[in-house]
Amino acid sequence: MKIWKRTMSGAVILAGAAALSACGNEGSNGGETNSDAEANSNTEAANGNADTEEATNEVQEDGGGEATGEDAPEGAPENINLGSASQGGTYYVYAGGVATMIDQNLDVPVNVEVTGGPVHNMQLVQSGDLNLGFATLGPAYEGYTGTGDWAEEPLDDVRIAFPMYTTPFKWWALEDSGIESMEDIEGQRVGVGPSGGTSGTYYPIIHESLELNTEDVQTGANDMASQMLDGQLDVIAFAAGTPISILTEIETQRDVNIFGLEGEMREEILDMYPYFYEHTVPGGSYESLPDDMETIAVYNFGIVHKDMDADFVYELVKSYHENNDQLVSTHASAEEATEDAILNNEQVPLHEGAIRYYEEAGIELPEDVYVD
C-alpha cells in the first residue's frame, strides 16, 4: 500500500503505549479496518485501531514514495501530502482512513503528516506545502478572511472540499482531583493541545473570555495524557471527534470526570464566537460519561489549495462519499460525513471541483461558497 508518514517536529508519542495496547486501546486510535465494526459503538471504534495506525506508520524506504498509479483519475497529483494533527487525536486517525481510501480507490499515494492541526494546516495548504488537510470551521473562516489573531494575512488560496464530522469541546480531570465542572478549573493547570490546532488556539480564548485564570499548556495529545497521569496537569481540554483515544486510554487506568460547557458560560461564548454551536455528547460515548453532556462544537472539513485540478477534486469528493462505510470502519465520527453536511459551512469558498459534485448531487449551496 502506497501510504507513508513523515513526522514533523513537535509530535510526541505517548509513553507506555505498549501497556495501553494490552488493554485494548492501541496506539493513537488508528482505526480498525474490519467493516463489521459497529459505527454507533464509540468504545469499539476507539479500541480496535491497530490496522490503520500500522498502515499510516509505514515509512517508504526511499523516503519519497511511489508516483501516481496508472488507474489514477486525470489531473491527479503525483502524490498527496495530507495534513492531520498530533498523534492521539481524531484527525490523525481519520487521516489514516482517508489515505487508505484515496490509495485504494484513486490509485494516488498519500503521505500523512503530523502537524499542529487546523491552524497549521490552513497555513500549509495556503503555502503549497500540503495539498490536502483538515480544518475546523473556526480556523478555516478566520484564516480565509484574515480575521484571526494568528493570521498575518488572508489565507485566500484555501478551499473547502468535503465535510467530516462534529468536534465537541470537552474537558476532563481525574476523579480524585475533585474537579467536576467548568467552574472548578479556575486557576488550574490545563493541557489544551498543540499551538496550531483547534484546541490550542480556541481553549485559551474560551478560558480567557470566561476569566477562569487557567495556566494553559500547549502540547500534543499523547503528551497531555502522559502529563495528566504523572500529575503534571490538572485538566485536559481537547476538542476532537468522539471518541478521543487519549481519553479512552486514560479511562483504562484511572477514574475520570468529563464535563462540557453549558448554561450562562455557553451562552456567553456563543454570543462572542458565532462559528461555535450547541452540541450534546450522547451518554455512553465514554465509560465515564453515563449521561448526555451539553457543550459547544465546531464542524470539520477537508481543505485543498484552489489550484488543485478541478477534475481530480471532483473525483476525490465523489470517492470520499461513495466509500463512507470504509471511513466509518476507521472512526465512527465519519457517519456524519454525508453530502448535505457540506451545508455546515456557509462562508468559506468551496473548490470548483467540489461545487460541481455537490451541485450534481442536488445540494443547493449557499451563495458565499462560490468565488470567481
| pLDDT at residue 74 in the model | 86
Q: Residue 239: which of 287, 291, 303, 172 has the closest Cα?
A: 172
Q: Is 360 helix (H, G, I), strand (E, B) or coil?
A: helix
Instruction: Please check the confidence at residue 46 and state whether its pLDDT lies above 80.
Output: no
Q: Which of 27-36, 48-57, 273-282 has the highest mean pLDDT?
A: 273-282
> What are the residues whose beta carbons fall under 8 Å from the beta carbon of 358, sequence distance 6 or more?
317, 339, 342, 350, 365
| pLDDT at residue 55 in the model | 34
Domain with CATH 3.40.190.10 in the chain: 3-165+301-369, 168-297
Q: Which fold has domain 3-165+301-369?
A: D-Maltodextrin-Binding Protein; domain 2 (3.40.190)
Instruction: Please check the confidence at residue 40 and state whether its pLDDT lies above 80.
Output: no
| pLDDT at residue 66 in the model | 57
| pLDDT at residue 305 in the model | 97
Angstrom distance (rounded) from CA 346 to CA 141: 10
Higher pLDDT: 245 or 311? It is 311
Angstrom distance (rounded) from CA 359 to CA 104: 26
| pLDDT at residue 12 in the model | 29
Question: What grid cell was written down for 331?
Answer: 472512526
| pLDDT at residue 67 in the model | 65
Question: What grid cell was written down for 148?
Answer: 484571526
Q: At 325, which helix (H) or strand (E)?
A: helix 324-330
| pLDDT at residue 30 in the model | 29
User: How many Å separate Cα 336 from the centre of its chain?
Assistant: 13
DSSP conformational letter for 197: S
Angstrom distance (rounded) from CA 361 to CA 245: 34
Please, which pLDDT band fits residue 258 given cuts at 50, 70 and 90?
A: very high
Q: Which CATH architecture has domain 168-297?
A: 3-Layer(aba) Sandwich (3.40)
Residue range 15-23: mean pLDDT, rounded? 28
Angstrom distance (rounded) from CA 191 to CA 187: 13
Angstrom distance (rounded) from CA 105 to CA 258: 39
